[in-house]
Amino acid sequence: MDNKEIVLSGIRATGNLHLGNYYGALSKFLRMQDDEKYDNLFFIADLHALTTNPDPDQLHANVKNIVTEYLAAGLDPEKSTIFVQSDVPEVSEMYLLLNMHVGIGELMRTASFKDKARKALGIKSDSEDIEHEIIGNETNKRVNAGLLTYPTLMAVDILIQKAHKVPVGKDQEQHLELTRRFARRFNSFYGVDYFPEPVNFDFGGKPVKVPGLDGSGKMGKSEGNCIYLIDEEKVLRKKVMRAMTDEGPKEMNSPVSLPVQNLFSLMELTSSHEVLQQFKDAYADCSIRYGDLKKQLAEDILKVTLPIRERIIELQNDDAYIARVLRQGAERARERASVTLREVRDIMGIRKFY
């Protein structure tokens, strides 16, 4: 157990899991939990969800949804530690400590912060000077400090468990880069070789970015372009059949437009190599019919999602089981977290007199 590499990842409790979460994160968790080399911890980030001020009952329901979906997709509490972020109070204390070594400038330059700050202030364009807006805004619209320090909290999730590998999608790379920077800074400021520098993990491939069905670059909850693991068969088929395409290729070997490329990318994840090649060839020789492509794609996605959906429905009503899993997970996650917090306090000079 002791010389295993520590793997940790989490998903924010902001709604049901979609195909982006599945291919960007969850499917990697599943492969890692079956590998003897790793000691795996997977959690639900409820504190991170607070940064966008959710309705309290909705937040609580979302946490339950994600645990259920984790379990339904195959995360196994006997093999992995499954827990809720706020069940490890050591995280909150270490977040305060680590913030003393984090610059507000570097936080303000984070892409996800700028994005969310723009949303909070109702700014549409990328070019506007948001620093000015954040400081000078006198309306009710505000950017809360939790949103700014989101990367500190994420770094603490990782560092408190001394994780080596963090399987996440491409959009989280910048947060991981910051985590490495904070770890290096802490180590060098105190002259210790304490925190390992965590890396993303992708089984040798590139980090995946699952596209949306609306021709946009990314499938995401806030984009409203998602296929959810919990989607009913009919709903899912309808979403795929409505996916954006174009007028179709007019000449042999013409370049592929973004919406159509997105459908090919989804096929790459869910369909066999032969099926994908067949449609790519049909595109190249202009015989493609997007209706057929979508039908096939829906079929192949359903093969992945329907069995998971069935298990979600079974597990949804088993509150006692979910409670057992989370209690056990919290105990295990706190074991290492409490040791790290004690050592970090000592390193920083917060020591007891009694």
The residues that touch ligand ADP, with contacts defined as CB under 6 A, are 11-12, 14, 20-21, 23-25, 168-169, 171-172, 208-210, 218-221
Do the beta carbons of residue 82 and residue 329 sit within 8 Å? yes
Residue with token string 């070594």 = 101
Q: How far is the CB of 319 from ligand TRP (least distance, A)?
A: 25
Q: Which residues from 109-168 bind ligand TRP, rule CB under 6 A?
A: 154, 157-158, 166, 168
Do the beta carbons of residue 226 and residue 187 sit within 8 Å? no
157: partner contacted, choices ligand TRP, ligand ADP, none (Cβ within 5-8 A by kind): ligand TRP
Residues written for the chain: 354
Residue with token string 């295993």 = 4
Q: Which one of 7, 9, 29, 322 is in contact with ligand TRP (CB under 6 A)?
A: 9
Q: Is 79 a catalytic residue?
A: no
Q: Which residues from 40-79 bind ligand TRP, rule CB under 6 A?
A: 45, 48
Which residue stretch of 4-12, 87-95, 139-147, 298-306 sits at the interface with ligand TRP (rule: CB under 6 A)? 4-12
- CA 38 to chain centroid, in Å, comes to 20
Q: How far is 302 from 307, CA to CA, in rounded Å?
A: 8
Q: How far is the CB of 70 from ligand ADP (least distance, A)?
A: 12
DSSP characters over 26-45: IHHHHHHHT-TTEEEEEEEE
H/E element, 268? helix 258-270
Do the beta carbons of residue 20 and residue 229 sit within 8 Å? no
**Closest CB to ligand ADP belongs to which residue?**
24
Which CB atom, from 70 or from 290, has the smaller least distance to ligand ADP?
70
Is the dihedral angle over the CA atoms 165, 171, 173, 178 positive or is it negative?
Answer: negative
Q: Is 221 a catalytic residue?
A: yes
Q: Which residues from 11-30 bind ligand TRP, rule CB under 6 A?
A: 11-12
Q: Is 239 a catalytic residue?
A: no
Catalytic residues: 116, 218, 221
Binding site for ligand TRP (CB under 6 A): 8-12, 45, 48, 154, 157-158, 166, 168, 172, 175
